[in-house]
Amino acid sequence: MNLFKRITQHNWPAILYFNYKMLPLFQAIKLPFDFYHKVRFVDLTGMIILNSNNIRRGMLHWGLIEDVIFPYEECVISIKGKLIINADSLGFGTGTTLEICNDSTLELNDDIVIAPRTKILTSNLIKIGDHARIGWECQILDSDFHFLRNILTGEVKRNSEPIFIGNNCWIGNHTTINKGTNLPANCIVASNSLCNKDYRLIVSEYSILGGIPAKLIQRNFEMIIETVEPELIKKLLILEKTK
- Find the range with the poorest average confidence among 1-5, 23-27, 33-37: 1-5
Residue 92: the pLDDT is 96
Instruction: Please determine, for residue 26, whether its predicted confidence score (pLDDT) is greater than 70.
Output: yes
> Residue 84 carries which side chain, given as an amino acid letter?
I
Closest CA to 115 of 172, 34, 187: 172
Confidence band (pLDDT; 50, 70, 90) for 4?
Answer: very low
Closest CA to 141 of 121, 158, 116: 121
169 close to 189: Cβ distance less than 8 angstroms: yes
Ramachandran angles phi, psi of 227, nearest 5°: -85, -15
- Full domain range(s) for residue 33: 3-144+153-242
Q: Give the DSSP letter of residue 205.
A: S
HSE-up (13 A, CA, CB side) for residue 116: 15
* Cα torsion angle, 159, 115, 199, 82, sign: negative
CB count in 10 Å sphere of residue 144: 15
Residue 9: the pLDDT is 85
Pairing, β 82-86 against β 47-50: parallel
The fraction of the chain above a pLDDT of 90, given in percent, is 80
CATH code, 227: 2.160.10.10
> Residue 48 carries which side chain, given as an amino acid letter?
I
- Find the range with the poorest average confidence among 44-53, 132-141, 153-162: 153-162
Instruction: Please determine, for residue 97, whether its predicted confidence score (pLDDT) is greater than 80.
Output: yes
Confidence band (pLDDT; 50, 70, 90) for 66?
Answer: low
- Which pTM value belongs to this model? 0.91
Give the total number of structural domains in the chain. Answer: 1
